[in-house]
Structure 1
Amino acid sequence: MRLHRNLVFAVIDGLHEIFNEEEYADKIVQKLLKRDKRWGARDRSFIAETVYEIVRWKRLYAEIAEVKEPYSRENLWRIFAVWATLRGITLPDWKQIAPTPTRRIKGKFDELSKIRKYRESIPDWLDTLGETELKGKWEKEIAALNKQAPVVLRANTLVGDKKKVRSLLEDELIDTEFIKTYPDALQLTERANVFSTQAFKNGFFEVQDASSQLVAAFLDVKPGQRVVDTCAGAGGKSLHLAALMENKGQIISMDIYGNKLKELKRRARRAKAHNIETRVIESSKDIKKLIGKADRVLIDAPCSGLGVLRRNPDAKWKLQPEFLDTIRQTQKEILSSYSRMVKPGGKLVYATCSVLPSENEKQVKNFLQSEAGEHFSFVSDKKILSHESGFDGFYMALLTKKE
């Protein structure tokens, strides 16, 4: 592979913003890709994939490069040189790239690869936490969470089934394959920009990981019901619920962030989902209005996001132990408050995109033993680990409210 100066400079600029200015990797990559209109698909792919790879393996590469945060531009070039060397890329004779000891880099890589926290490039505290909570499964799980995530689509059955979606994408030279036991899922055989396709613009599909697609179905919704999606965000699961309900009944999509709900409205129009009403949660009054009035309630709770590290590798550097303590308390409060919206005989699903039992099974167990949870019965739960499923790590628990 021949390195192009303008592309590599874009990568270095992006890494500076992500590592030193604590910007989010996805937003920085989006910004970088708009820098030069002359760049083709291969150029954009190089920038995005290189940035994400270096972010993912930051600790390992920095240790090999013998640099520490905050990283100067010289440090970032040294980290880049490690990345390139380990991929067998010949480094150009640029003044920014110091003479690179290729043999030493490979030797140090072999040495550090024997130690999990370096091999999997994670902070010490996270490695300890994972080992404590997942015990014998952490080794395989963190390795799986460091792999690039597949691109999975969900056919929007309000518009067409997965066979229709597959056919439309074939017409646009994008190949997909069905995923067994996931009724509406298609996986891309090669990465491609599906957002530019006519099929996407016409609402035939959403990009949604296979594990995430299980959550709405787990709620067991029926056409004509009143369903509340309490932490709806930009609405991936609300849109799935609308499809499962065949646009019949009412979905109230709530969130504390109004800008996310605006995005949901835009997506709902494209998806032809007409039974979604958005409501911003501004105070406890917004919850009180719905107490005992919902057939189904989905709590897709805020969490550590450890189950989706493959998509957000910078999260492991931003995440702090104190945040985990805070988010567990938030989960407890949300479960206690929002569960009141379920009517007698109705159902509740509590879900997270975390793999930690302390955010999942333990939260549900503590809720059922609390005053708010005494009106509920446990039905079943699903624990999805990335190394077992090949998709994102997720958890979901189904509860019913006693008559």
Structure 2
Amino acid sequence: MTNSRNTAVKILKKVLHNNAYSNIVLSEYLNRENLDRRDRAFITEIVYGTLRYKYTIDSILNSFLKNGVGKLDEDILNILRISIFQLRYLDKVPEFAVVNEAVELSKRKSFKLSRLVNGVLRNYLRKRNIVGFGQNGDKIGRLCFKYSFPRWMVELFISQYGEGVGETILKNSNIVPKITVRINSLKADYKQVWNKLEESGYDVERGTLCREALIIKKGSSIESNSLFKRGYITVQDESSMLVARIMDVKENMTVLDLCSAPGGKSCHISELMGDTGKVYACDLHENKLALVRENADRLGIKNIICNKIDAEEYVEQFQGISDRVLIDVPCSGLGIIRKKPEIKWTKNKNSINNLIKIQRNIMINASKYVKKSGKLIYSTCTLNKMENDENIRWFIGKNPQFKLEKINCGDFENIIYNRGGYMTILPSENVDGFFIAKMIKYR
């Protein structure tokens, strides 16, 4: 029988030490190993929870390890991490069971180190209520410990959004996300899908921002459901859904999606256009375009044309042909930490600065493909204003033939509208953080 905690340790090693994507490696292990539903849920909870609270967990461990976490064996460290997560953040697992399982698991690596594991965990249990973890730092340090974020990221959110909004971003980025699906208007209507899901035992509710959004509050894997397999629904966050809605697409338009994979927005655009016109879905990697084709086929979409191109490089055939050009550019992903908590530990300031150059190259290149009176839509899943607001101001300054067109999706507590017209969506219980700007080409 597969040991759930051992599987979690293996997954964490790949994510934290081999830079693997949590969702991909988790899916690989869950599909490969003989696990029942409860084990799958437990592993998922431990992996994402440990990634989410790694800063806080490591700070605690540093209090009990003479040489700190940096010199500890990777497997032993991850055994300790998942154990502190369970002891601090879960109340459904008995404390003695957490400690015993950790010790037995560490014995496979080293009997000597198993004694260390036992000592650290029991020491934590004795002192957790009398040691003021994280209470002695400055204001930023306390926020780092409370919400488990690296210092540079806390400083970025506080400096760009102020203390109140900045702390809300930190807090909401730790919310465990629900699954949101988009109803495919080419195949089904909203009520039909709602009823079918309820009949299948799902607890559902209406989306917050988009009329075609439906939130899965409780239920089995949605991608195993026949409605998903038959293309009636597709998994997509509501913030991402808003992009296609904001583009104002109409039947028989020509639309270019320069950074398309895995195709969620391209397919949504096609649905809104009634599968008419042309949607050019482009990506740098052929294997990612295969995902676009797979999604389009499942959803019954025929008007998507896939193209393997580099969004930074000019392609003459696209010069001035598009009614709408979407650039959902590569970004730091600071708005989707709810779903990919390892972003806290895999991003840094230098990597963001490198991204800004790429984003601006894509913007300039994409602008050449927009026809007169056409629109250029810029979106990211980050909350970093250097990649969002500052990029838009830079682009408009360099390209006076484009002007911002105001976006208004209604009054929501988590949406910030800039006077210039673009919008920032803050992470909340049901949506990821996102940024969208729409620019019209006047000449």
Name the TM tier (shorter chain). Answer: over 0.9
- Structure 1 residue 375 and structure 2 residue 401: aligned? yes
| Secondary structure of 1:345 counterpart | strand
Identify the match of residue 169 of structure 1 among 197, 213, 216.
Answer: 197
Offset, 1:284: 6.8
Q: Distance in 2 between matches of 1:334 and 1:397?
A: 15
> Contact (CA 8 Å) 2:238, 2:431: kept in 1 or not?
yes
- After superposition, residues 3-402 of structure 1 pair within 5 angstroms as 6-37=3-34, 39-66=35-62, 67-69=68-70, 71-72=72-73, 73-86=75-88, 87-88=90-91, 89=93, 90-92=95-97, 93=100, 94-95=103-104, 96=106, 97-99=117-119, 100-101=122-123, 102-108=125-131, 111-112=134-135, 115-136=142-163, 137-282=165-310, 287-370=315-398, 373-380=399-406, 381-387=422-428, 390-402=430-442
Q: Distance in 2 between matches of 1:243 and 1:131?
A: 39
> Contact (CA 8 Å) 1:151, 1:207: kept in 2 or not?
yes
Alpha-carbon distance change, 109 to 8 in structure 1, aligned in 2, over 3 angstroms:
farther
Alpha-carbon distance change, 285 to 309 in structure 1, aligned in 2, over 3 angstroms:
closer
Alpha-carbon distance change, 113 to 215 in structure 1, aligned in 2, over 3 angstroms:
farther
Q: Distance in 2 between matches of 1:109 and 1:208?
A: 41
Offset, 1:252: 0.5
Q: Distance in 2 between matches of 1:104 and 1:158?
A: 59
Q: Distance in 2 between matches of 1:302 and 1:36?
A: 33
Unaligned 5+ segments in structure 2 are 63-67, 107-116, 407-421
> Contact (CA 8 Å) 2:311, 2:366: kept in 1 or not?
no
Corresponding residue pairs, total: 396
Amino acid at match of 1:91: F
What is the TM-score of this pair, normalised by structure 1?
0.93
> Contact (CA 8 Å) 2:314, 2:365: kept in 1 or not?
no
Offset, 1:34: 3.0
Q: Distance in 2 between matches of 1:390 and 1:80?
A: 26
> Contact (CA 8 Å) 1:353, 1:393: kept in 2 or not?
yes
After superposing the two structures, state which structure 1 stretch, 321-330 or 113-122, moved more. Answer: 113-122
After superposing the two structures, state which structure 1 stretch, 288-297 or 124-133, moved more. Answer: 124-133
Q: Distance in 2 between matches of 1:240 and 1:51?
A: 31
Task: Report the identity percentage.
Answer: 28
1:75-100 alpha-carbon deviations (Å, 9 max, x no partner): 22222221122124323334435142
Q: Distance in 2 between matches of 1:17 and 1:207?
A: 25
Q: Distance in 2 between matches of 1:194 and 1:340?
A: 40
Offset, 1:24: 1.9
After superposing the two structures, state which structure 1 stretch, 89-98 or 51-60, moved more. Answer: 89-98
| Secondary structure of 1:149 counterpart | coil
> Contact (CA 8 Å) 1:261, 1:278: kept in 2 or not?
yes
Q: Distance in 2 between matches of 1:187 and 1:34?
A: 24
Alpha-carbon distance change, 113 to 48 in structure 1, aligned in 2, over 3 angstroms:
farther
Offset, 1:108: 4.3
Offset, 1:113: 9.8
Amino acid at match of 1:397: A
Offset, 1:122: 1.4
> Contact (CA 8 Å) 1:20, 1:71: kept in 2 or not?
no
Offset, 1:365: 0.9
> Contact (CA 8 Å) 2:332, 2:347: kept in 1 or not?
yes
After superposing the two structures, state which structure 1 stretch, 164-173 or 292-301, moved more. Answer: 164-173
Offset, 1:32: 2.0
Q: Distance in 2 between matches of 1:48 and 1:5?
A: 14
Q: Distance in 2 between matches of 1:220 and 1:55?
A: 38
Alpha-carbon distance change, 336 to 286 in structure 1, aligned in 2, over 3 angstroms:
closer
What is the RMSD of the two structures over their aligned residues, measured on CA atoms? Answer: 2.0
Q: Distance in 1 between matches of 2:337 and 2:152?
A: 16
Offset, 1:283: 8.2
> Contact (CA 8 Å) 2:53, 2:147: kept in 1 or not?
yes
| Secondary structure of 1:91 counterpart | helix
> Contact (CA 8 Å) 1:84, 1:91: kept in 2 or not?
no
| Secondary structure of 1:248 counterpart | coil
Q: Distance in 2 between matches of 1:105 and 1:22?
A: 31
Alpha-carbon distance change, 117 to 346 in structure 1, aligned in 2, over 3 angstroms:
same
Unaligned 5+ segments in structure 1 are none
Q: Distance in 2 between matches of 1:325 and 1:189?
A: 38
Amino acid at match of 1:104: K
> Contact (CA 8 Å) 1:294, 1:342: kept in 2 or not?
yes
1:97-129 alpha-carbon deviations (Å, 9 max, x no partner): 514231323444754598111111111221222
| Secondary structure of 2:368 counterpart | helix
Offset, 1:375: 1.2
Amino acid at match of 2:42: F
Amino acid at match of 1:76: N
| Secondary structure of 1:355 counterpart | coil
1:53-79 alpha-carbon deviations (Å, 9 max, x no partner): 001111111111224236522222222
Q: Distance in 1 between matches of 2:70 and 2:173?
A: 24
Offset, 1:163: 1.3
Alpha-carbon distance change, 70 to 294 in structure 1, aligned in 2, over 3 angstroms:
farther
> Contact (CA 8 Å) 2:9, 2:79: kept in 1 or not?
yes
